[in-house]
């Protein structure tokens, strides 16, 4: 009896495999056979997915202040307030990021948006304009660490 059941199962399996083979030969629509639109062209009546490029906002004190508060919330836990990469999460065992070195603004923006290695992206958490604010703040943070007080004008030194 048990052998009989096994044989029946085997036959059923063979029939199923045979059935799969037939499916590869059946008539079907090939989505790549012909294109109604040129590559990269959006078909009429559809909405493009994803965000459109946000213009880079001019650097103002208000933008830097916004960037500082976003950096404090989202980046300092790993990169530390100074950007040296020894934030609290790293002290608790998360892989240490390299010190935030001078980098092109677009590179920093893309890393914040998409993440890099073990660092997750912030596209869902930080709005595009605020990401540019973080980029401007990171740049200011780096410059502040290479700047001698003598390089500042009296007016710049007076800014709180
Ligand atoms: C959970 C920890 C964590 C958080 C939060 C985090 N990062 Fe990172 N970040 C990393 C790690 C780790 C790397 C190194 C990734 C790699 O190269 O594998 C990294 C890499 C980077 C790099 C590239 C550095 C280089 O020279 O390759 C930049 C720029 C950066 N982070 C900026 C930010 C900014 C700005 C924020 C806040 C919006 C942020 N990160 C939040 C962990 C973090």
Q: Which of 82, 90, 100, 116 to mutate to test the pocket of ligand 1 (most atoms within 8 A of CB)?
A: 116
pLDDT tens by residue, 46-91: 665 665 677 899 999 999 999 999 999 999 999 999 999 999 999 9
Residue 18 has pLDDT above 60, yes or no: no
40 lines ligand 1 (CB under 6 A): no
- The count of domains in the chain is 1
User: Sign of dihedral through CA atoms 120, 60, 57, 63?
Assistant: positive
User: Sign of dihedral through CA atoms 134, 140, 144, 149?
Assistant: negative
Instruction: Indicate the average pLDDT of the chain.
Output: 83
pLDDT for position 27: 80
pLDDT for position 36: 61
**Ligand 1 center from residue 119 Cα (angstroms):** 5
- pTM summary value: 0.72
Q: Give nearest CA residue, ligand 1 atom 8.
A: 119
**What's 125's domain CATH number?**
1.10.760.10
Does some domain include residue 72?
yes
């Amino acid at each position: 009896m048990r052998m009989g059941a096994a044989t029946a199962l085997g036959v059923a399996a063979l029939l199923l495999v045979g059935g799969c083979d037939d499916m590869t030969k059946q008539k079907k629509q090939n989505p790549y056979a012909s294109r109604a639109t040129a590559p990269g062209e959006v078909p009429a009546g559809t909405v493009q997915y994803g965000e459109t490029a946000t213009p880079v906002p001019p650097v103002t004190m208000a933008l830097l202040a916004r960037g500082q508060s976003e950096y404090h919330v989202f980046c300092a836990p790993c990169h530390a307030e100074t950007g040296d990469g020894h934030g609290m999460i790293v002290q608790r065992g998360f892989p240490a990021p390299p010190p935030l070195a001078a980098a092109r603004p677009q590179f920093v923006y893309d890393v914040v948006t998409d993440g890099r290695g073990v660092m997750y992206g912030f596209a869902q958490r930080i709005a595009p304009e605020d990401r540019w604010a973080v980029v401007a703040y990171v740049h200011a943070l780096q410059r502040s660490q290479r700047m001698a007080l003598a390089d500042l004008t009296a007016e710049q030194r007076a800014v709180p």
